[in-house]
């Protein structure tokens, strides 16, 4: 299995190098291979599919423009996670400043399958819906950390690098995010809205 993973990584690296040299076909193939992961992360970070589509479009535009700056120190997928996290954050900040949304127009949150605590919540569909809504209620900076760590399983070092913060700050934010998540679930604020 590791040879497949290593081979896939080498294949992606070859595509990155070809795209750097101006091959639009190679970049299109990179988009095809990374689209599902990029879109899934954008949905989880923004909380809805419409914003996620806007974010993904901007992510690939930024990736194309910034490909020459990709040094290859990290995996291409890690670089894409970072661009997606930063673009999602920027998009949501702009959206907040421009928000004039009618409360009836707000979409239901997209379900998130979080493998982390509380384990009992993940066992039932209602629990997963409550957990998904609670995650969406987290402030963006905390939501990013919780999703990158608990959904994607990234180590603290990778999260810190992707978000441009220290490892200590990543750990503190993760602790705060998980505490806030527990508080939301324990207070029962989410239950009334999740059903």
Topology given in CATH for the domain delimited by 1-107: Rna Polymerase Sigma Factor; Chain: A (1.10.1740)
Reported confidence tier of residue 126, pLDDT bands at 50, 70, 90: low
Mean pLDDT score, 8-13: 71
Q: What is the mean pLDDT of residues 162-172?
A: 87
Cα–Cα dist 14/29, whole Å: 11
Residue 164 pLDDT > 90: no
30 pLDDT band, cuts 50/70/90, is very high
Look at the block and give the residue holding tokens 């998540």.
181
Flag whether pLDDT at 34 surpasses 80.
yes
What are the domain boundaries of the chain? 1-107, 112-195
The whole-number average pLDDT for the span 84-98 is 82
Question: What's the Cα-to-Cα distance from 123 to each of 101, 120, 164, rounded to whole Å?
Answer: 34, 5, 34
pTM of the model: 0.58
Q: How many CB atoms lie within 10 A of CB 194?
A: 17
User: Strand locations in 6-110, DSSP E?
Assistant: none
pLDDT over 90 percentage in the chain: 23
Q: What is the DSSP string of 20-37?
A: HTT-HHHHHHHHHHHHHH
Low-confidence winner among 69-73, 112-116, 125-129 (lowest mean pLDDT): 112-116
Res 195 pLDDT > 50: no
Number of Cβ atoms within 10 Å of the Cβ of 93? 11
| Cα dist from 150 to 32, 94, 112, 160, whole Å | 25, 26, 11, 14
* In this structure, CATH architecture of domain 112-195: Orthogonal Bundle (1.10)
For residue 132, what is the enclosing H or E element? helix 125-137
Residues 63-82: tens digit of each pLDDT: 999 988 887 777 888 889 88
Question: Does the pLDDT of residue 113 top 60, yes or no?
Answer: no
pLDDT of 116 strictly over 50: no
pLDDT at 3 over 60: no
CA distance 158 to 124: 31
Summarize the confidence of residues 97-126 as an average pLDDT.
49
């Amino acid at each position: 299995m590791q040879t497949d993973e290593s081979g896939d990584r080498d294949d992606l690296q070859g595509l990155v190098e070809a795209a750097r040299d101006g091959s639009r076909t190679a970049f299109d193939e990179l988009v095809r291979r990374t689209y599902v992961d990029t879109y899934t992360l954008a949905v989880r970070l923004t909380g809805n599919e419409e914003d996620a589509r806007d974010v993904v479009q901007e992510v690939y535009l930024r990736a194309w423009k910034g490909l020459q700056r990709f040094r290859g120190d990290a995996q291409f997928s890690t670089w894409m996670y970072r661009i997606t996290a930063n673009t999602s954050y920027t998009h949501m900040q702009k959206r907040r400043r421009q928000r004039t949304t009618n409360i009836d127009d707000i979409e239901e949150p997209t379900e998130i399958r979080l493998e982390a605590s509380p384990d009992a919540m993940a066992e039932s569909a209602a629990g997963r819906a409550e957990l998904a809504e609670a995650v969406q209620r987290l402030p963006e900076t905390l939501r990013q950390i919780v999703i990158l760590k608990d959904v994607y399983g990234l180590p603290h070092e990778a999260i810190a690098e992707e978000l441009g913060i220290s490892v200590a700050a990543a750990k503190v934010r993760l602790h705060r995010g998980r505490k806030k998540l527990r508080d939301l679930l324990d207070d029962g604020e989410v239950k009334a809205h999740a059903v």
